[in-house]
Structure 1
Amino acid sequence: MTAAAPSLTLPTGRRAVPVALAGALVAAAIAYPLSSGSGRDVVSWTIVLLGSALSVVHAGLSRGARTGAGVLLLVALVAIAFESVGVATGFPYGSYTYSDVLGPTLLGVPFLVPLAWLMMAWPSWLLGGLLARPVRAGLRRPARIAWAAAVFAAWDVVLDPQLVQAGYWTWADPSPGLPGIDTVPLTNLAGWLLAGLVLMTLLDLLVARTRAVGSPRVGPAAPLFALAWMTLGGALAHAGWLGLPGSAAWGAGLGAAVLLVLAVQHRRAGRR
Structure 2
Amino acid sequence: MRLSLKRRGWRRPVSPHIRLLRLLFGIFCLLYALAVIGVGFDVKPPFSMDWAASLLLYLEGILILMAAALVYSMRRALGAGFIVLVLSFLVETLGVNTGFPFGHYSYTSILFPTLPGGVPLPVLFAWVTIILGVYSWFRSRRPGLRLSTVDVLLAGLAVMLLDGAIEPVAARITGYWRWVYDASFFYHIPLQNFAGWFVLGTFCIWLVDRQFAPVPRPRIEPPRMAFWLPRLLFACSLFMFGIVDLTHGYYGGVICAFLSALLLAFYARRR
TM-score for both structures, normalised by structure 1 = 0.78
**Unaligned ranges ≥5, structure 1:** 1-9, 267-272
**Unaligned ranges ≥5, structure 2:** 1-11
1: distance between equivalents of 2:98 and 2:124?
A: 18
The secondary structure found in structure 2 opposite 1:91 is: coil
The secondary structure found in structure 2 opposite 1:41 is: coil
The aligned residue for residue 27 of structure 1 is 30
Q: Tell me whether 1:224 sits opposite 2:228 in the alignment.
A: no
Measured at CA, do residues 78 and 109 of structure 1 come closer, stay the same or move farther in structure 2, by a change above 3 Å?
same
Between 1:32-41 and 1:55-64, the stretch displaced more is 32-41
Measured at CA, do residues 139 and 201 of structure 1 come closer, stay the same or move farther in structure 2, by a change above 3 Å?
closer
Q: Give 1 or 2: higher helix fraction.
A: 1
2: distance between equivalents of 1:231 and 1:20?
A: 23
The secondary structure found in structure 1 opposite 2:148 is: helix
| Equivalent residue pairs, number | 247
The aligned residue for residue 200 of structure 2 is 195
The aligned residue for residue 5 of structure 1 is none
Question: Do the aligned residues in 2 keep the contact of 1:26 with 1:230 (CA within 8 Å)?
Answer: no
Question: Do the aligned residues in 2 keep the contact of 1:128 with 1:151 (CA within 8 Å)?
Answer: no
The aligned residue for residue 91 of structure 2 is 82
- Alpha-carbon offset, residue 195 of structure 1: 0.5
2: distance between equivalents of 1:174 and 1:26?
A: 35
Q: Tell me whether 1:42 sits opposite 2:51 in the alignment.
A: yes
1: distance between equivalents of 2:160 and 2:65?
A: 20
2: distance between equivalents of 1:253 and 1:129?
A: 19
Question: Do the aligned residues in 1 keep the contact of 2:137 with 2:267 (CA within 8 Å)?
Answer: no
Measured at CA, do residues 213 and 256 of structure 1 come closer, stay the same or move farther in structure 2, by a change above 3 Å?
closer
TM-score for both structures, normalised by structure 2 = 0.78
Q: Tell me whether 1:64 sits opposite 2:73 in the alignment.
A: yes
Measured at CA, do residues 139 and 85 of structure 1 come closer, stay the same or move farther in structure 2, by a change above 3 Å?
same
The aligned residue for residue 258 of structure 2 is 252
Question: Do the aligned residues in 1 keep the contact of 2:97 with 2:117 (CA within 8 Å)?
Answer: no
2: distance between equivalents of 1:69 and 1:140?
A: 20
Match of 2:191 among 165, 176, 186: 186
The aligned residue for residue 125 of structure 1 is 135
- Alpha-carbon offset, residue 101 of structure 1: 2.6
The secondary structure found in structure 1 opposite 2:193 is: helix
Amino acid at match of 2:50: D
The aligned residue for residue 270 of structure 1 is none
Question: Do the aligned residues in 1 keep the contact of 2:102 with 2:195 (CA within 8 Å)?
Answer: yes
Question: Do the aligned residues in 2 keep the contact of 1:22 with 1:226 (CA within 8 Å)?
Answer: no
- Alpha-carbon offset, residue 224 of structure 1: 0.5
Deviations along 1:16-48, one digit per CA (max 9) or x if unpaired, are: 655554454343222114254984432211220
Measured at CA, do residues 236 and 91 of structure 1 come closer, stay the same or move farther in structure 2, by a change above 3 Å?
same
1: distance between equivalents of 2:13 and 2:57?
A: 27
Measured at CA, do residues 185 and 26 of structure 1 come closer, stay the same or move farther in structure 2, by a change above 3 Å?
farther
The secondary structure found in structure 2 opposite 1:92 is: coil
Amino acid at match of 2:59: L
- Percent identity between the aligned chains? 20
The secondary structure found in structure 2 opposite 1:170 is: strand
Q: Tell me whether 1:166 sits opposite 2:169 in the alignment.
A: no
1: distance between equivalents of 2:175 and 2:193?
A: 17
- What is the Cα-based RMSD across aligned positions, in Å? 2.9
- Alpha-carbon offset, residue 232 of structure 1: 2.4
The secondary structure found in structure 2 opposite 1:217 is: coil
The aligned residue for residue 156 of structure 1 is 163
The secondary structure found in structure 2 opposite 1:101 is: coil
